[in-house]
Amino acid sequence: MTRNGITLVNEQRLSELLVQFARTLITDYPIQGILDRLTDRILSVLPVTGAGVMLMGEEADMHFVSASDKTLFQIESLQIEWGEGPCLEAYRTGEQVLIPDFRSDQRFPRFGPRALEAGLAAVFSFPMRMDGTRLGAADLYLDKPGRLAPEDAAIGQVLADVAAAYIANARGRVESEQTEEALRYRTLHDPLTGLPNRTLLHDRVAQAITKARRERAVPAVLFIDLDGFKMINDNLGHHAGDQLLVCVAQRLDRTLRDGDTLARLGGDEFIVLCDDLDEAGHAVTVAERIAAELSSPFQLDDDEVAVTASIGMAFATEGSETPDSLIQDADAAMYRAKELGGARFEMIDEDTRTKSRQRLQDERARRHGEPQDELR
């Protein structure tokens, strides 16, 4: 008795195989692992001497090949290299390709002789289909000429289609993970320079402060603001300004030590976080390297421009700092460097911190007073 071309004995054998297959191909099983498992299990249920699978996609990095031995792996790979072969034909047409004897088949003039040289006499290719979409094909090989029994051919097609379902699920998972990773990257990085943004910087500073309390290290935040950037942006245009920012980011990156973080807050403001200085004075060395790195002119298309930087430094030494307070202190020290003419670096001190807080209070008072006509 048969059902869909499969005898009851073979149907039971296929059912047992599919149960094993399903248990093996758990949700997070990789694509290559699915294909390797398929070629291995085919040999245990069908009277063939070898099996190969080719998974195709629009992009080259979505091409996967698996085979039951090294020789067959080479044979399968040749189909992609030569652009011909039964597996490719089954994938392209969505129809089974059955070749009981390579010696009498002329459809693949390059592939057929190469298969014979490898000791292969017959091949039966089954398209891997899922919801009308073809994902690849599975090849069953014999080392002697002969035909595949109808029930065995039916099993081969079922296995190919079941594998296609798992492949579609795995591809969807990969695409979802890639999309999630891309969204996460955009959330935490500056779109112009690719550097960490304020959100990621805040997290890194918080980690550095926690580490400093535990290991007695001295985290330093260097707040960098370019001198004269607005003039370049206004005179040469925003495109040139963006070019300059990207070039500055690249140069600043060269000054970093392993473990340092370079971030862009926006505009022409950059932050360098040094999370494990032996002492606060070592931040001066970092600032000097930054100044030296920015001292050479920048070539922007047909224009050569020169910039300097005002740098403010703040340190987590008291154990009570927060990421916001540390960045604000570095900002205040940078503002002080600007007041003194720019192209220099300044460390935070209590006088600078007090003046910065007074400026913030004055600004809040101004914003509060303007709408109510309270300014005098």
172 & 232 share domain: no
In a domain, 365, yes or no: yes
Residue 319 lies in a domain: yes
Statement to judge: residues 93 and 217 lie in one domain: no
CATH code: domain of residue 284 = 3.30.70.270
Same domain, 167 and 26: yes
376 residues of the chain, pLDDT tens digit each:
344 444 444 566 666 666 666 665 555 667 777 778 778 778 877 889 999 888 886 654 446 788 888 988 988 888 888 889 999 999 999 999 999 999 999 999 999 999 999 999 999 999 988 888 888 899 999 999 999 888 888 888 888 888 787 777 777 777 788 888 889 999 999 999 999 999 999 999 999 999 888 887 789 999 999 999 999 999 999 999 999 999 999 999 999 888 899 999 999 999 999 987 877 778 899 999 999 999 999 999 889 999 999 999 999 887 768 999 999 999 999 999 999 999 999 999 877 766 666 666 556 556 666 555 555 5
Contacts 24+ apart (CB under 8 A), 65-73: 65/35, 66/32, 66/35, 66/36, 66/38, 66/39, 67/39, 68/39, 68/40, 68/42, 68/43, 71/118, 71/119, 72/118, 72/120, 72/139, 72/141
Residues 23 and 153 in one domain: yes
Question: Of 155, 185, 215, which marks where a domain is finished?
Answer: 185
- Looking at the structure, tell me whether residues 104 and 239 fall in a common domain: no
CATH number for the domain that contains residue 109: 3.30.450.40
Q: Report H helices in 86-228.
A: 86-93, 111-117, 150-188, 198-215
Number of independent structural domains in the chain: 2
Q: 285 and 157 in one domain?
A: no
Residues 236 and 172 both lie in one domain: no
| pTM for the structure as a whole | 0.63
Closest by CA position to 152, among listed 9, 53, 280: 9
Same domain, 35 and 65: yes
> In 3-state terms, the chain is what percent helix, strand and coil (to 5)?
55, 20, 25
Based on the domain organization, do 145 and 233 belong to the same domain? no
What is the extent of the structural domain holding 44?
2-185
- Does residue 274 share a domain with residue 159? no
C-alpha triplet 263, 280, 291: angle, nearest 5°: 50
Q: Based on the fold, state whether residues 156 and 58 are members of the same structural domain.
A: yes
